[in-house]
Structure 1
C-alpha cells in the first residue's frame, strides 16, 4: 500500500544519543531489528465544506504509520511508547474537523507534522492518502428528456462537464484514475518527502501506434507492426523538491493532462507513437519542463494487448481482411517503465 520514497534519507537513520538512551539495553541476542513501524490503514473519511449553497467534498482513505525511536515494545513487550492505532484513526477525523481538507498532500503533511510535534519519541511519520474521485453533477444531467436514449446525447454524458452548470451539492463517482500521495516526515531530516501519484489511468487508441525494427533473431516471432492498437494502464508517481509554492491539485491535473496529450495528441490529428518507451519518455520530460517543483518522476506503462482475430480460414463467411475485430489479451503483457530526474539533484536523491 505504501509507496517507497524515491529519495533516501541522508541522516535520518543516525540516531542521536538522547534518542538512543530511550532503548536501554534493547538488543538481547545476536539479532537486530533493522526496520520497524506500525500504524492504521484504510481509515475512510468524508469531509464536507459547506460555504453557503455550494458544498465541496473530499473523500479519502488514509493510512498512518509511525516509527518510534524505541524498540522496547518488540524486545521487552513494553507498550509505554505506543500511540495506539485507534488513536491514530481518531486523529484523522479530529484534524479533518479542526482544519478541514484542501488536498490529499496538505492533509497528509498536516497529519505527519502533528505526530512529530505531539509525540517526541516518534522518529518518523509516514502518511498515505488515496482520493475517491467525486465530480459535480452537471445541470443538464438532472433533466429527463422524452427523446433521450441511455448512452446517447450530452445529458447522459457524466464524464464530460464542458461548459454546463455544475450542481451545488450533488456528485457522481468518476473513477478515471486514482489520485494518491505519500508523505514521509523524519525528525532528524529537515527535508519532507512528498510523493504524489496517478494510478489506474487506462487509455486506448486505435491507430498511430507502431513497433518496428526491433531485435530480429531466432527467438523472435512477432512481426513488425506498422499500425496497431495501443492500450495501457498508466501508473505514475513523482516527488516534489519544493512543497511551499506548488498547488498540489493543479499539479496532479497537469500531469494527467500531459500524459493524455502525449498519448493521444490533437483530437483531430492525433500523434504518432513509435513505441511505448518514447511516449512514456515524452510525458515524463514534459512534466519536468512544466512543473519546476517536481524533481523526479517514475512511470509504468504495461501493454494491454488487442490481437487481430484471424479471419483468413473463414473467407466464405467474412471475405477480405479483418481490421475491426480484436481479441483482448491482458496476460501475459509487456511492461515498460522509466524514472526521469533532473541532473542537478542533490546526491541523496
Structure 2
C-alpha cells in the first residue's frame, strides 16, 4: 500500500496592480507596482481534507497590498516586499513562510523647459525592475533583486573568433560584428540594510558601462561570455552588500544582407544594411559569487 506526503506547497494572489501617489504639496511622486504573494501554512488540511478554516483568502492578500500601501507608502519594491512578508508572518500564527514578488513599472518624471515636472510622468521602459522577498516564521528576510528587458546594441568593438573548428562548424570568424542582447539579471543581498534604489541603479550602470565603454572609443568585447563576467565582477566590486549575481544574455543577431547577387543594382560590399534575426539565437548565462579567502 502506498502512502503519500505533501513535500511542498504554497498559494497566493498574482498580478495585484497598484499605483501609489506620494503628494508633497504640488510635487507628486508615483510608484506603480505589480505584486504577487505566496503563503505556506502549517497545516495541509485544506489540501487533504478540504478544510478551508486556515486559509487566508487570496482576495484578502490582494486587499492587504492596498491597505499596507496606504498605511506605509511605497519607497522601494524591496522594502514593500519585506513589509508584506513580515505582515503575513506576524499577523497569522499558522503562516510558516511568505514570499512576495514585486515588479516596478518604469515611470520617470517629465522634463519641461529644463525642469522636472511636478506631477507629470512618461513611461520609459529602458529596463524593468523586480524583486522577491522570502521569509520564514521567526526568520530574517532574504532579498533577490533584478532587472529584465534591458536591450542594448553596439555596432562595433565586438568579435567572436578562434572557437572550435570541427566538422559541424559553418560560422566564420567575426573580427568586427554588431553586438546586441536583451539582458536579464538577478542578484542576492547578504543583508536587508541596503539602499535598494541606489544599489539597483549601480548594477544597471555597471552593465551599461562594461557593455558600451567610453563614449568616444567604446570597449572591446572578445565574446559575450567575457563581457558578462567582467560585468558581474564590477557589480560585486561596486556593491559589497551583493553576494551573488546571475546574468542571462541571449544573442540578438544582425546579419549583413548579401547585396552582391543583384548584378546591376547591388553592392559588392555591405556593412550598413543588416537583417535582424530573432531565432535561433545563442543564450549565454553565468553566475558569480564571493568566495572566502582563508588566512594562513
If the TM-score is normalised by the length of the shorter chain, which range does it land in? over 0.9
What is the CA-CA distance between 1:50 and the residue it aligns to? 0.3
Select the structure with the greater relative contact order (CA < 8 A; seq sep ≥ 6): 1
The superposition leaves residues 178-214 of structure 1 with CA deviations (integer Å, 9 ceiling, x where unpaired) of: 00000000115x3421000001000000000000000
Q: Does 1:296 align with 2:244?
A: yes
Distance 2:2 2:80 in 1: 41
TM-score by length of 2: 0.97
Please give the per-residue CA displacement for 1:91-139, whole angstroms capped at 9, x wherever unaligned. 0000000000100000000000000000010010000000010001111
User: Displacement of 1:284 after TM fit?
Assistant: 0.3
Gaps of 5+ in 2: none
Matched residue, 2:235:
287
- Structure 2 residue 26 is the aligned partner of structure 1 residue 78: no
Indicate the residue corresponding to 2:182 in structure 1. Answer: 233
- Tell me how many residue pairs correspond in the alignment: 293
**Correspondence 1:204 to 2:153:** yes
Q: Does the CA-based 8 Å contact 2:151-2:181 persist in structure 1? A: yes
Q: Distance in 2 between matches of 1:58 and 1:273?
A: 36
| Among candidates 163, 174, 181, match of residue 131 of structure 2 | 181
RMSD across aligned positions (CA) = 1.3
In structure 1, list runs of 5 or more residues that go unmatched.
1-27, 141-163
In 2: Cα distance, 1:84 partner to 1:341 partner: 38
Aligned with residue 340 of structure 1, among 278, 288, 292: 288
Could you tell me which residue of structure 2 aligns to residue 319 of structure 1? 267
Deviations 1:22-43 (A, max 9, x none): xxxxxx9611111101000000
User: Which of the pair is proportionally richer in strand?
Assistant: 2
Q: Is the 8 A contact 2:187 2:244 kept in 1?
A: yes
The C-alpha deviation readout for 1:51-85, integer Å capped at 9, x for no partner, is 11111000000001101111010001111110000
Instruction: Give the Å deviation of 1:315.
Output: 4.1
Q: 1:267 pairs with 207, 210, 215, which one?
A: 215
CA deviations 1:153-177 (Å, max 9, x no partner) are xxxxxxxxxxx31000000001111
The separation in 2 between residues aligned to 1:40 and 1:30, in whole angstroms, is: 31
Stretches of 4+ aligned residues off by more than 4 angstroms: none
Structure 2 match to 1:330: 278
**Against the structure 1 CA distance between its residues 71 and 29, is the aligned structure 2 distance closer, same or farther, given a 3 Å change threshold?**
farther
Q: How does 1:1-349 map to 2 (within 5 A)?
A: 30-140=3-113, 164-187=114-137, 190-244=139-193, 246-344=194-292
Deviation at 1:303, TM superposition (A): 0.2
Assess if the C-alpha contact under 8 Å between 2:142 and 2:192 holds in 1: no
Inter-partner Cα distance in structure 2 for 1:76 and 1:31: 14
Give the 3-state SS of the residue equivalent to 1:243 in structure 2.
coil
Q: Secondary structure at the match of 1:59?
A: strand
Deviation at 1:233, TM superposition (A): 0.3
SS in 1 for 2:243: strand
3-state DSSP of counterpart to 1:220: coil
